Amino acid sequence: EKGAAERAEAILRQMEEMRQSGDMYVAPDTVTFSSVINAWARSGEDGAAERAEAILRKMGEHSTGKNNVNVKPNTITYSAVINAWAKSKQPDAADRALAVLHWMEDLYESGDRDAQPNTFCYNAVINALAKSESADKAQRSYDVLQHMMSAHLKGNRYARPNVMTYST
């Protein structure tokens, strides 16, 4: 439904304002933020991916600040942003999706188990690359697949290629 993501984000802002006023009973958490990001990812509206990523970055600021309000991004959150980029018609959508995946991988490799990339993340990046206008999209997709298989072989059981991986 057109406008649903905007309304969801408005509710999130209202919840944040209430929390800042001291009402911790309506403090948004990871699920709240992820739901709004997912609403943007599914909206198909212009600028949706940028909005989704901006909310993700805001979550990162909240989770590292002194007022940690349980808003740490997780795999579902990052996946929704990658998916938003995969659905975006922006010329740099594939690069942006890949950048979020690399961000996740860096966090995961530095010990953040909540940022573990999974099959959906890799598939969404491959999908974004497949839809891109990049002349080297086939090679880049293959590189992501190889990286995915390597992650799986190194112990990330959630990064196992599936039928969707090979049919994208």
pLDDT along the chain (168 residues), means of 10: 92 92 88 96 94 93 65 94 95 96 95 95 96 94 96 94 91
Identity of residue 42:
R
Query: Which pTM was predicted?
Result: 0.91
User: Within its chain, how far is the Cα of 84 from the centroid?
Assistant: 7
* Residue 123 confidence (pLDDT): 97
Is-contact 132 93, C-beta < 8 A? yes
* Residue 18 confidence (pLDDT): 93
* Residue 68 confidence (pLDDT): 57
* Residue 24 confidence (pLDDT): 81
Identity of residue 74:
N
- Residue labelled with tokens 């080297």: 136
* Residue 113 confidence (pLDDT): 93
Identity of residue 63:
S
* Cβ neighbours of residue 87 closer than 8 Å, sequence gap 6 or more: 41, 44, 48, 49
Other Cβ atoms less than 10 A from the Cβ of 35: the count is 17
How far apart (Å, rounded) are the C-alpha atoms in residues 81 and 124? Answer: 10
Helices H, strands E: what count in the chain? 8, 0
List, in sequence order, the alpha helices (H) in the chain.
Answer: 4-20, 30-43, 48-64, 75-87, 93-109, 119-131, 137-153, 163-167
